[in-house]
Structure 1
Amino acid sequence: MDEETLKRVQQTVNEILLVIDGFCRKYQVPYYLFYGSELGAVRHHGFIPWDNDADIVMFREDFERFRELWLQNPVEGYFFQDVETDKGYTVKFAKIRKNNTAFAEVENKDLEMHHGIFVDIFVLDDYVKNRFLRRVTELITMFDFNAKRQYVPSHSGRYLYKLTNRIFKSEKICKWWYRKVFPKLKKDDTMCSDIISYTFRHKYDFKREWLGTPQYVEYDGFELPVPENTHETLKVCYGDYMTPPPEDKRFSNHKPHYLSFDHEYHPNLKEGGHV
């Protein structure tokens, strides 16, 4: 992606961020720039120069209220995307996408879903005290996610993945666990976790006090919220977060198969143009 196109993508993503921010201010829903966007806010006072997406995070109770409010009062020109609002979507976290645009990623190019330019919304859940039950929660989340994508790796464990994909295909196990079991498990109310971004290393576990009251900071000429203690949250995610990676590592993980600022994408479109 050339520099001019990248800048235009970033500007469109910032437009979506401002829409989300205005909505959250109106309805008093707290949220934070997180992951790469929090890093960009702290290290670059805006977008990481080579990045092309944005991440925000909410606590579960705030996210559920945000979702309900958005579906009741949708912002014209923008779409709330999750597995319930878009049956073709196969990712467990939500997105806000801009209508009449396209950022169709290579791995999703054959899916019939909304492919608009987007902002990712991650959710921080309560932290299960019991280590075994926390691990069970992570496994159920991972297997359900893999089944939704029909993910099968190339290594020798692929037969286990095929089996769990079949078992979790209906999503009933995950829904039962999160609706009936998870709410009853004892929680550590000082901690929270991004369970969806599954990892056995618990890279995505955070102290609630680190997020605290959203702090508005400069972001590409605007003011957007970050956690109260950015040092601790960024240290968990990136370690030495103030040192940029080597130049050969400065690229985004999101690679568009098809990109447009004024047209939607569907799988029958040819790469680089419209049918």
Structure 2
Amino acid sequence: MSINDKEKKKLQRAILIIACEVARICKKNDIPYFINGGTQIGAVRHNGFIPWDDDFDIGFKRKDYEKFIKACDKDLNKDKFFLQTPETEEYYAFDFAKLQLKGTEIIEDFSKNVKIQHGIFVDLFPHDNIPDCKLKRKLFLFKNHLMKNILWVKCGYGEKKHKSKLSYKMVKFVSKFFSIKQIKQSRSKLLDKYNNTKTTQCIISDYPNDLIMNSWLDDLQLFRFEEVEFYGIKQYDAYLKSLYGDYMSLPPESERIVHSNYKIDFGLYDGLLEDMLYGNNI
């Protein structure tokens, strides 16, 4: 079920509340972070959200990501937010964290039957080094892809149309020989393998085709995003061109779509978010 324009704007306001909490904790603990992907495009091209977009991505170097997770133990407003990680919920199959707004719900089609919390969220992506050697890199990416798919199937992710495919059934058969804990531990060990080695590039584990220069992550600057500011990559032009090509040109209207959501509920925040559409304060 897709969301209408008003719901999308309310969702963007809710997401901005979460993103500001991430930035607050990072500032308090001197932890570098950066907006990335479509969020960085939004900052550069629109000074905020891409008008039709409905998510927010924040990146970290792996060591800074781990610092952030630990900082949340003492500094996160736990009455208002929930930090979802591979450790907090058995059936959560991603290697990255999501900071969720408690009392809200957004259930995406591919995970609607997974037994996890489904609050409105901001994605928190650790970036892991990949080997410069082409052969080692191919092996690394293959193992990551295989373990990701096994874990997804094991935890119950996937839309109905995917579950009927032979490839899905084959992966499901293989997954029976491993526990969720075993797969998570093996994948975590793999992704950390080169983080103490100086390499040219890094990746986000769930987007392995997006190769990112490590040097880009060493130089950050503030970008306006709506009425606040977030750190992003100073060499954003090289970064965004490498991922998207001509990122300043708007895509065709047919491609200006939000992520497909099965259900969305703003809960107790519904009235507050409604007011924010007009008051523009967070």
When normalised by structure 1's length, the TM-score is 0.84
Q: Secondary structure at the match of 1:204?
A: strand
Contact 2:222 2:229 in 1 (8 A): yes
Relative to its length, the structure with more helix (as a share) is 2
Q: Indicate the residue corresponding to 2:112 in structure 1.
A: 109
Structure 1 segments, 4+ long, off by >6 Å, are none
Taking the aligned partners of 2:193 and 2:217, their CA distance within structure 1 comes to 22
Q: Indicate the residue corresponding to 1:259 in structure 2.
A: 265
Q: Secondary structure at the match of 1:86?
A: coil
Query: What displacement does 1:117 show?
Result: 1.1
CA RMSD of superposed structures (Å): 2.6
Query: What displacement does 1:245 show?
Result: 1.1
Taking the aligned partners of 1:191 and 1:180, their CA distance within structure 2 comes to 16
Contact 1:101 1:263 in 2 (8 A): yes
Contact 1:82 1:89 in 2 (8 A): yes
Q: Secondary structure at the match of 2:76?
A: coil
Percent identical pairs in the alignment equals: 27
Q: Indicate the residue corresponding to 1:193 in structure 2.
A: 203
Q: Secondary structure at the match of 1:95?
A: strand
Q: Indicate the residue corresponding to 1:273 in structure 2.
A: none
Change (3 A) 1:120 1:135: closer
Q: Indicate the residue corresponding to 1:245 in structure 2.
A: 251
Q: Indicate the residue corresponding to 1:162 in structure 2.
A: 172
Task: Indicate whether 1:96 and 2:99 are aligned.
Answer: yes
Contact 2:131 2:194 in 1 (8 A): no
Q: Secondary structure at the match of 1:225?
A: strand
Residue 155 of structure 2 is aligned with which of 149, 158, 175? 149
Residue 215 of structure 2 is aligned with which of 209, 213, 222? 209
Query: What displacement does 1:231 show?
Result: 1.2
Taking the aligned partners of 1:85 and 1:153, their CA distance within structure 2 comes to 26
Taking the aligned partners of 1:133 and 1:220, their CA distance within structure 2 comes to 41
Structure 1: give runs of 5+ residues left out of the alignment: 265-275
Change (3 A) 1:204 1:85: same
Question: 1:89-144 deviations in whole A, cap 9, x for unaligned?
Answer: 33332100011122222333333432211101111101123234323432344234
Residue 183 of structure 1 is aligned with which of 184, 189, 193? 193
